[in-house]
Amino acid sequence: MSKIVDARGLACPQPVILTGKALKESDTVMVIVDDETPKDNVSRIATRKGYNVKVEEKDGDFYIHIQKKNTVSEEVVASPIPAPEGDLVVLISSNTVGRGSDELGEILMRAFMHTFMEVEPKPQTMIFINSGVKLAIEDSIVLEDLQALAGEEIQILVCGTCLDYFKLKDKVAVGEVSNAYTILETLLQAGKVVRL
Amino acid sequence: MQKPTYGVVLFHSTQTAIKAEKILKGAGIQIKLIPVPRQLSSDCGICLRFEFDDAQMIESTLVSKGVQIAGVYPL
C-alpha cells in the first residue's frame, strides 16, 4: 500500500520526520511539499537510504515519489567502508574548528567531539597540539566527550610543550602528556591523518 | 514504551541555539549542545540535548525569554 504525506507548509525538519515515519509503514510513499529546501532534504535522505526518488512539480508544489529498490541495490548501499591500512589519527591543532568566527568554531568543535562517539570508524589516536590542548584540561568544553573517547581505548596525546606554554600543565584531565618524538612518530606511522 | 532518557530541542538558527544555551545554562539546567540527530534532519545544524524529565521546564524557560523553538523531540 502506498502512503501519502502532505507536508506543505511545514518547516524543517518536520517533512523529513514524517517521511521517515511513512517509510517505516510502507515501501511506497508520496510526499507533497511546497518549497525547494524540504524537497531537496526529503529527496536526498531517501536516496541515501537506498530508495528510488522521482520529483514532479505541479502548481508550485513538489510531489516526491519514493519507492523501495530491490534488495540487491540496498546491499550495495549498505556495504561498509573498507578500513585504511595503518592507524587512523586525528590531529587537532586548535581549540576551534575552521577560520572566520571563533564563537562558531567553538560550537563546531563541541558538535564534532560529541559526534566522534556516534560515527565509525573510530580513530586509534587523537593528538592535541597548540591551543588544541585547551580541550583536554579540567574546565574543557568537551571534556565529557574526550573522557568517553578515552574510555573506548582511543589514545589521546596532549602536547606537553603546548600545555607548558599556556601554563596548563597541572590542569590536564584526560589523555597522556606527550612530546615531539611520540607525536611525530604517530603521525608518520599513521595510515591516515585527519585534521580538524 | 520506555520513557526516553534524552530529548532534543531544535531552533530555526544557530544564533538562536547559542542564545538558548546561554539562557538554559544560566537557569542551571543540564544541557548539551550537539548536532541535530541524523534521523531528524541533515541540514538544521545544532540543537540542545536535555534530560527528558526537564522537557517542560526547558520549554517554559525558553518561551518566557521569547526564544522561538522549532521543535522538541525525544531521542
ipTM for the whole complex: 0.78
Neighbours of A176 (CB within 10 A): 13
Chain A, nearest residue to B12 by Cα: A12
Q: Cell 520529483 sits at which residue? A: A55
pLDDT tens-place string over residues A141-194: 999 999 999 999 999 999 999 999 999 999 999 999 999 999 999 999 999 999
- Among A109, A113, A122, A126, which residue's Cα sits nearest to residue A187? A126
CA angle A120, A121, A124 (to 5 degrees): 135
**Contact flag A103-B36 (C-beta cutoff 8 Å):** no
Which member of B10, B44, B46 has the closest CB to residue A107? B46
Closest CA to B31 of B12, B63, B66, B55: B55
| Residue A174 grid coordinates | 584526560
Choose the closest CB to B44 out of A13, A20, A103: A13
pLDDT in tens, chain A (196 residues): 789 999 998 877 788 888 888 988 888 999 999 988 888 888 888 887 788 999 999 999 999 999 988 655 444 455 555 555 789 999 999 999 999 999 999 999 999 999 999 899 999 999 999 999 999 999 999 999 999 999 999 999 999 999 999 999 999 999 999 999 999 999 999 999 999 8
Q: What single DSSP character describes residue A138? A: T
User: Do A120 and A138 meet the contact criterion of CB atoms below 8 Å apart?
Assistant: no
> Which is it for the CA torsion B14, B19, B22, B25, positive or negative?
negative
Domains in chain A: ranges and CATH: 3-77 (3.30.110.40), 88-195 (3.40.1260.10)
> What is the C-alpha separation between A13 and A41, in angstroms, rounded?
9
Q: Give the A-side interface with B, CB within 8 Å.
A: 11-14, 16-17, 20, 37, 41, 44-45, 103-104, 107, 110-111, 114-115, 144
DSSP tag of B24: H
- Which of B34, B39, B40 is opposite residue A114, by nearest beta carbon? B34
The residue written with cell numbers 534521523 in the block is B39
Q: What is the rounded (10 degree) CA torsion for B12, B18, B24, B30?
A: 100
Number of H helices, E strands in chain B: 2, 4
Instruction: Provide the grid cell at A184.
Output: 611525530
Label the pairing between strands A28-33 and A155-159.
unpaired
